[in-house]
Amino acid sequence: DADVTQTPRNRITKTGKRIMLECSQTKGHDRMYWYRQDPGLGLRLIYYSFDVKDINKGEISDGYSVSRQAQAKFSLSLESAIPNQTALYFCATSDSSTAEQFFGPGTRLTVL
Amino acid sequence: QKEVEQDPGPLSVPEGAIVSLNCTYSNSAFQYFMWYRQYSRKGPELLMYTYSSGNKEDGRFTAQVDKSSKYISLFIRDSQPSDSATYLCATGTNAGKSTFGDGTTLTVKP
């Protein structure tokens, strides 16, 4: 089984809808991250969490919110989706002793 | 200016060629240097990880870091069609976050 899972894998929605992307991990890592990837723009950090009670904004947090429900679960919400939030979204985890991150398979989100 | 700049590509080479992928960074505080490989429709996966200046070799892959010039490179020897992917450089500090380059897409033609 995959160590980092994301649901859904693909989602098409309409402008103004609320969307939640979920991430679960079995690696036992404290640190979790949400990124978006757009063609030519690489990975941009949305939010990150170093433990259950720690939530931090990344470089592009506007329009997004997160919830760290447990050590293993980190959800990303788009309160009112807009077309320029169409992108590939990745969840990642890391141990506190290393910079190496482990990525999930990604969620392809399309906002019409 | 971005903290990590990566040669954009795309790059297309014949099978067996030596490939050089390059990044520069601006923050002297970066201590960790990584290369991730991302196949189409997949998440990035760590390929190489180094903590200091110098070379680190793993099979056909060599990661090179020059902290004095803030330059990091990945060399692929005897490139194979299975090496076709997007390569992302990344740097990080003890604070835990990593900063990624935009990626270079490599195609190795048989």
User: Looking at the complex, does the CB of residue A41 fall below 8 Å from at least one CB of chain B?
Assistant: yes
The secondary element (H helix, E strand) that includes residue A65 is strand A64-70
Q: Considering CB atoms only, which of A4, A48, A98 is closest to B97?
A: A48
- Contacts of residue B102 in chain A, CB cutoff 8 Å? 40-42
Whether B109 shows a pLDDT value over 70: the answer reads: yes
Whether B95 shows a pLDDT value over 80: the answer reads: no
- How do residues A45-81 score in pLDDT, each as one tens digit? 999 999 999 999 999 999 999 999 999 999 999 999 9
**Nearest CA to A36 among A58, A18, A15?**
A58
- How do residues A76-105 score in pLDDT, each as one tens digit? 999 999 999 999 999 999 988 888 899 999
Alpha-carbon gap: B73 to the closest alpha carbon of chain A (Å): 17
- How do residues B14-53 score in pLDDT, each as one tens digit? 999 999 999 999 988 888 999 999 998 899 999 999 888 8
First-residue to last-residue Cα distance in chain B = 37
Query: Given the DSSP bridges, would you call strands B61-66 and B71-76 parallel, antiparallel or unpaired?
Result: antiparallel
Distance CA A89, CA A94 (A): 17
User: Looking at the complex, does the CB of residue A10 fall below 8 Å from at least one CB of chain B?
Assistant: no
- Contacts of residue A4 in chain B, CB cutoff 8 Å? 43
